[in-house]
Chains A and B, each alone.
Chain A
Amino acid sequence: AAGVIQSPRHLIKEKRETATLKCYPIPRHDTVYWYQQGPGQDPQFLISFYEKMQSDKGSIPDRFSAQQFSDYHSELNMSSLELGDSALYFCASSWDRGVNYGYTFGSGTRLTVV
């Protein structure tokens, strides 16, 4: 069965650079969620999209932006990177608002800022 695909798996950037993370949800899933998991921490919700419109916003810095495209894939754009942005970034998708089928997470993109 198809899963949530995230790319790249690993990314190394320098401070003040920009990064773009991509997420391809499960086909026919209508909602995409982005989470940030710092070292030794629980996943923190960043932002979500339902049918290509921003649905909810969590603790996402102003330096970050995201969007969902017509093919339902989503991109998280991160600018002016800081050392503290080093984390595992998860994307998840759901259908039916996660009620009956839950949420499926990708394997994550590990971003290291040096």
Chain B
Amino acid sequence: AQSVAQPEDQVNVAEGNPLTVKCTYSVSGNPYLFWYVQYPNRGLQFLLKYITGDNLVKGSYGFEAEFNKSQTSFHLKKPSALVSDSALYFCAVRAIYNAGNMLTFGGGTRLMVKP
């Protein structure tokens, strides 16, 4: 079985400050890890993914995430938050050898960036 935990329901940060949205995962074997963002009444938009290689992955809109195998974490980060980053963020995982290929999502973290 595979699972994802996002321990914070909401993260508040001031514009211009760095932000971190936490994600830990549980999967048999090596993971594929993803971050998606969801704006109100919109679909899930892909931000970045980790498959293999460098532990620091850079994605869209200045976001990056660091894969930490020992801590089974894949925290999303951005050096300087924008008000327009305010949205719902989902971390997702699938096992590399998952025959079904489906993603399992975390519960989501609402990011609020205040001016």
Contact = CB atoms under 8 A, between A and B. Distances in A.
B102 A48 contact: yes
A98 B103 CA distance: 9
Contacts of A33: 101-103
A25 interface: no
Given A90-B43, A107-B42, A100 B51 contact: yes
Given A42-B106, A110-B41, A48 B101 contact: yes
Interface residues of A, number: 27
A98 B95 CA distance: 11
Contacts of A16: none
Q: Is the interface of A mostly helix, strand, loop or mixed?
A: strand
27 contacts: A31-B101, A33-B102, A33-B103, A41-B107, A42-B106, A44-B105, A45-B102, A45-B103, A48-B102, A56-B100, A56-B101, A56-B102, A58-B102, A98-B94, A98-B101, A98-B103, A99-B32, A102-B34, A102-B46, A102-B49, A103-B34, A103-B46, A105-B36, A105-B45, A107-B42, A107-B43, A110-B41
